[in-house]
Structure 1
Amino acid sequence: MWSQDRHHDVGAYALGVLDEVEAFHFEGHLRECPRCAVQVAEFRPAARQLMLYRRATPRSVHPFAGPGPRLLDRLLDEVGNRNRAGRRRWLFAVAASVVFAVGGPAVAILAGPGEQKTAVAATDTKTGVWAEVKAADKLWGSEIDVQVKDASGPRVCQLVVIGKDGSEETVTSWMAPDHTDTPSAMKGGAAMQREDISHFEVRSDGERLVTLKSPWG
């Protein structure tokens, strides 16, 4: 599914349909492409609603069946919240996405009072994987830093955030190095605010390596 023009894969990445290797390579492109970073931020509300619809719809329901009252209520609430926030919120979201993609000291300009990162850490006794997650609320969601010690590499891993409503977002992906205890450090972002997060999971090829319960809910 890999496109010769990486810009064309932004929709597939935002909707979570790229496989692990493709997502890993696209995120390398994302760090160097502000245009794609903006588009990923724009896709996130739609991807989140599709995830909610998939989880709320039984397998027996035809995919083109009419939406029920609960889904309509959720969609109306979401639209109302976005409209109340107005264009100012959207512009800050775009600016945050561009700054995150290109890096640099301008990140501090977008940080407001009370947005310092707080941390949670855990070690899985079965896999031996240790992880620490730091998160800070932003206008567009949560800015997240993660460090992982994984001596069972090399393997492709992801940090996944799970919301209290059951929805999931992949925060970042990386290649765990070959047999080392040195932590790997990554940065990412999620559309959820910290208070909406249930827990984090570090995964590899569908296997859960370590779970970190959110301390902010």
Structure 2
Amino acid sequence: MTSRVEHTDVGAYALGLLDEDDRMAFETHLLGCPACRYELSDLAGVASVLSGIGPVEEPGPPSHDREGDVIDLLHRKKAADRRTRRGTFVIGMAAAVTLVAGGLTIGTQLGAGEAPQIAQGHSSHSGMNMGPAEQFYAEGQPREGKGVDGVTGGLVVESKGWGTHAALKLAGVKGPLECELVSVGKSGERRVMTGWSVPPAGYGVPGSPDPLYMHGGSATPLKDIDHFEVVTSAGKKLLTIAA
């Protein structure tokens, strides 16, 4: 049994890869860890992908004639190849689950339709640690917003089959606050694209210089959106970005 239970063990637990002692230890950990319970519920669909993969049956006892030996050898090679392919698939799925449990966003396409990406926050870092939201923002053409009380930021948007995808950059904001990115349609319809909490240290301020990057999505087509707003839970408008 390992000496301690990691939060990232949620991926291995969802796939049934933990041994008995570690499984029991992790289930005890789940009782006192809401974050892991939340991640586990999100991973239920991923784990179900493996439900159709059964154990590889071992070949029967070898025969004692030359023809039987050759056939037995071929059976063993086939079984070994199947085990290798299955092991590679399980390892790949475990890696994917670990990425999801670690907070990364993984985009999938089901059939011919597109699925919106999960909203995901990321405090800016350079180089290899750039998150998906920050990367999308950096590679796009930001639309600068108009802020209040020193708040600055912008938005990169793209039209999708399901609506509008956006990446937000936000700085100059101090917490604690609860905020939402909202799309405001030309008809006046308001749709929440994503929400988050600002810690007391804030983002893009002295002592906490990194801005916040967030993914979000709206079912309203981009052509039907008038502007975007970042608002607090108290209704204060922090940033306005024209569409």
TM-score bracket for the superposition, by shorter chain length: 0.3 to 0.5
Larger radius of gyration: 2
Report the TM-score when normalising by structure 1: 0.47
Report the TM-score when normalising by structure 2: 0.42
